[in-house]
Structure 1
Amino acid sequence: MPMTQERIEARSRHARRKQSNRYRELFEAANEMILVHESSGQLLDANEKTCQRLGYSRAELLRKNYVDIQSPRYAPLFTQRLFELSRQGVAVHESAYVRRDGAVIPVQTSCRSFSYGGRPAILCIARDSMKNNHLSTAALLTKVREALKT
């Protein structure tokens, strides 16, 4: 039985929806904080890990600007870093986010420009630097202990 145009379009919509769901699952399953924002800084999306770490609901977070969650030390660098990103396409920086309760979380951000829903946006993946420092310290202590045993 030949497929009608309507059936072809329905299958295509179903395939796109399925693919979109898979990408959303990956986005939410990530162990890093993921934020999507406009060049103005307006947040467009955030994964669950970001919401948990910063202490906001997704709806609350999406009413904020990227600069709003930056620590006072890093917020003034937003424009400079955006310029660097536009020139190089990617940017990796040390930064710090401020949680709802005021606690500061040192992070390393890796950002790149991309198309989000057909419009230009910036994808930032942030790794908690404190966790990395603890891991590095633990690894160093293990090496020192091993060296002392010999």
Structure 2
Amino acid sequence: MKKPARKKPAAKSPAGILEQMLNCVPSPVFAKDREHRFLYLNKAAADFLGHSNEKMIGKTDTDFFPEAQVRVFWEKDDEVFRSGAESINEEQLTDAAGVNHTIVTRKSVFKDGEGRDILIGVINDITAMRKAHSELSMFRKLLENSNDAIFIVNPRDGAFLDVNETACRRLGYPRETLLRMTVPDIEETAAGANGWADLKARILASDNLLIGGRHRRADASTFPVEVSVSKAEIDGKTYLLANARDITERKKMEEAMREVDTLRGLIPICAKCKKIRDDKGFWQKVETYLERHSNARFTHGLCKECMNELYGKETWFKEEGK
């Protein structure tokens, strides 16, 4: 007996195959005519816009999107129809749920079998990318405006990977110069043969470390700093984040407080001549003692009582007092 011949599957039309292929494309794809009427949307486009293919076919953007957005869409549509050149444009689009998206639309034009101009558009939703970029820009702005100098450091060699504007301004270097430098170039405690190795060992042994040091400016002058250092692991690599605070004013205040402390307590003073005995047993004038133990400096004059005592009997003094 002869086996019955197998029936060959009916061949699909090229249009049917193309539609299947487009529905497998993850990016939203649409087609319009010169009157801006939708001729086709793939599944990704229908899902993204929130409107079914059947609902949108034959209608225009004005039936689905805000007027301001439609003006932008049509301006670019007409430009592509007129020039025949591809257009890539960043746009705003509000979907059926009222959610606003930032999109990049790539549009081009071709002629169909009947010679009609057909516009094909491919949408790329970059909303998340734009949000991330905005957040990154905000973080960068806050970083640049920080009162502290901020450094991102490669722990391997102490090289600066990034610095903020405060660091550049405080140290007197342009950013491009500072990014070619290392921690030992600006920090006195990290200088020397094993300076960075010893400092790095202390840093890596702790999650967070507060270090006192002195930074060296481009003009070779130095100033005291307090540096908070923390570690960050990104993609398997370790980075150091250092916040350096200029504590010059704090040091001045501490020194002033030490001078005040020196003058506190019982100070031996002569009841007659008012000289003060220092810690070595020598008697000094009050102004001499205070000038040696503080930043105070004295000018000399006469109070009213002493003026009367010294010059009260003088005729010229009596005349001035009238």
Letter in 1 for 2:162: D
The answer to whether the Cα contact below 8 Å between 2:225 and 2:245 also exists between their aligned partners in 1 is yes
The answer to whether the Cα contact below 8 Å between 1:110 and 1:124 also exists between their aligned partners in 2 is yes
The CA deviation at 1:120 is: 2.2
Letter in 1 for 2:249: K
Question: Aligned partners of 2:235, 2:178: CA distance in 1, in Å?
Answer: 19
Query: Could you say what secondary structure the match of 2:240 adopts?
Result: strand
The answer to whether the Cα contact below 8 Å between 1:81 and 1:91 also exists between their aligned partners in 2 is no
The CA deviation at 1:137 is: 5.5
Which 5+ residue runs of structure 1 have no aligned equivalent? 145-150
Q: Looking at both structures, which has the greater relative contact order when contacts are Cα pairs under 8 Å and sequence separation is at least 6?
A: 1
Q: Could you report, residue by residue, the CA deviation over 1:56-115 in whole angstroms, capped at 9, with x for unpaired residues?
A: 0011100111111122x4424322221122221111111111100000111111101114
Quick one: which of 161, 169, 180 aligns to 1:44? 161
Question: Aligned partners of 2:212, 2:206: CA distance in 1, in Å?
Answer: 17
Question: Aligned partners of 1:6, 1:88: CA distance in 2, in Å?
Answer: 45
Alignment match, 1:125: 243
Alignment match, 1:6: 124
Question: Aligned partners of 1:17, 1:131: CA distance in 2, in Å?
Answer: 38
**How many residues are treated as equivalent by the alignment?**
140
Matched, 1:93 2:211: yes
**Normalised by the size of structure 1, how large is the TM-score?**
0.80
Question: Aligned partners of 2:151, 2:204: CA distance in 1, in Å?
Answer: 17
The CA deviation at 1:47 is: 0.9
The CA deviation at 1:118 is: 7.4
**Normalised by the size of structure 2, how large is the TM-score?**
0.39
Question: Aligned partners of 1:135, 1:87: CA distance in 2, in Å?
Answer: 32
For the pair shown, which has the larger CA radius of gyration, 1 or 2?
2
Question: Aligned partners of 1:135, 1:13: CA distance in 2, in Å?
Answer: 48
Q: Could you report, residue by residue, the CA deviation over 1:100-143 in whole angstroms, capped at 9, with x for unpaired residues?
A: 000011111110111468742111111112122234457x49x9
**Which is further off, 111-120 or 54-63?**
111-120
Alignment match, 2:232: 114
Quick one: which of 146, 159, 179 aligns to 1:62? 179
Question: Aligned partners of 1:99, 1:115: CA distance in 2, in Å?
Answer: 30
Judged with a 3 Å threshold, the aligned counterparts in structure 2 of structure 1 residues 117 and 47 are, in CA distance, closer, same or farther, namely farther
Quick one: which of 6, 29, 54 aligns to 2:145? 29
The answer to whether the Cα contact below 8 Å between 1:34 and 1:125 also exists between their aligned partners in 2 is yes
Question: Aligned partners of 1:66, 1:117: CA distance in 2, in Å?
Answer: 23
Structure with the larger helix share: 1
Letter in 2 for 1:60: T
Letter in 2 for 1:69: I
Identity within the alignment, %: 24
The CA deviation at 1:6 is: 2.8
Which 5+ residue runs of structure 2 have no aligned equivalent? 1-48, 51-94, 96-102, 104-122, 262-322
The CA deviation at 1:14 is: 0.3
Matched, 1:105 2:223: yes
The answer to whether the Cα contact below 8 Å between 1:34 and 1:50 also exists between their aligned partners in 2 is yes
Question: Aligned partners of 1:61, 1:18: CA distance in 2, in Å?
Answer: 26
Alignment match, 2:199: 81
